[in-house]
């Protein structure tokens, strides 16, 4: 089971980012339950790809470490597509800077045959889709947390 790790430094306090990541993941998970999230899978050795609807689920939240675990799998059981499990962590670097990290493992289908396909290039597919997912969560969470901070600042200025 190959391991994936992505991280990004975000100029926000860890508690704000944790809340924003949690809310963003809830919205993305809800969207995935209605076929609203699809990942691409190439067709053979061509440049064409097929969209594979995936379901994203928040499986665990922990304020102590602070992490939010997710699982990702194809919505259709018959689709041969990698599954992923792993947590997002918000790691404080300073009062106003946090590292957002996604670390987890993906499983390829079909056992030994799947492992061979993974070695032949399926790992790039998994990594590209997981990178896009990480970037989506990071971007949405950063934007949402900044909007909340601006709203709070504007409210304080009017008081």
Within 10 angstroms of residue 112's Cβ, the number of other Cβ atoms is 8
Domains in the chain: ranges and CATH: 3-158 (3.30.530.20)
92 bridge partner residues: 98
**What per-residue confidence (pLDDT) applies to 120?**
47
- Secondary structure (3-state) at 64: coil
Task: Name the least confident of 18-22, 51-55, 92-96, 153-157.
Answer: 153-157
Instruction: Please enumerate in sequence order all residues whose Cβ is within 8 A of that of 140, keeping only pairs 6 or more positions apart, or say none.
Output: 20, 24, 27, 28
**What per-residue confidence (pLDDT) applies to 33?**
87
User: Which DSSP state fits 70?
Assistant: E
Q: What is the DSSP string of 117-128?
A: HIIIIIHHHHHH
**pTM score of the predicted model:** 0.82
Per-residue pLDDT band for 51 (boundaries 50, 70, 90) equals confident
pLDDT of residue 111 exceeding 80, the answer is no
CA 76 from chain center: how many Å?
20
**What per-residue confidence (pLDDT) applies to 117?**
53
Helix or strand run (H / E) with residue 20: helix 14-32
Helix or strand run (H / E) with residue 88: strand 83-94
- Secondary structure (3-state) at 157: helix
Q: What average pLDDT does the structure give for the chain?
A: 82
pLDDT of residue 136 exceeding 80, the answer is yes
Pick the more confident residue, 123 or 35: 35
Q: Are 5 and 101 in contact (CB under 8 A)?
A: yes
Pick the more confident residue, 60 or 50: 60
């Amino acid at each position: 089971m190959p391991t994936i790790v992505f991280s990004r430094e975000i100029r926000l306090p860890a508690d704000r980012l944790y809340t924003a990541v949690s809310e963003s993941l809830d919205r993305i998970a809800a969207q995935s339950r209605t076929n609203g999230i699809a990942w691409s899978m190439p067709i053979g050795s061509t440049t064409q790809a097929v969209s594979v609807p995936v379901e994203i689920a928040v499986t665990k939240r922990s304020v102590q470490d602070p992490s939010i675990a997710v699982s990702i799998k194809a919505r259709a059981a018959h689709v041969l597509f990698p599954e992923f499990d792993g947590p997002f962590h918000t790691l404080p670097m300073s009062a106003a800077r946090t590292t957002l990290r996604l670390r987890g493992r993906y499983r390829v289908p079909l056992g030994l045959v799947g492992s061979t396909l993974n070695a032949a290039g399926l790992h790039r597919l998994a990594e590209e889709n997981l990178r896009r997912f990480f970037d989506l969560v990071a971007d949405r969470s950063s934007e949402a947390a900044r909007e909340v901070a601006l709203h709070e600042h504007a409210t304080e200025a009017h008081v």
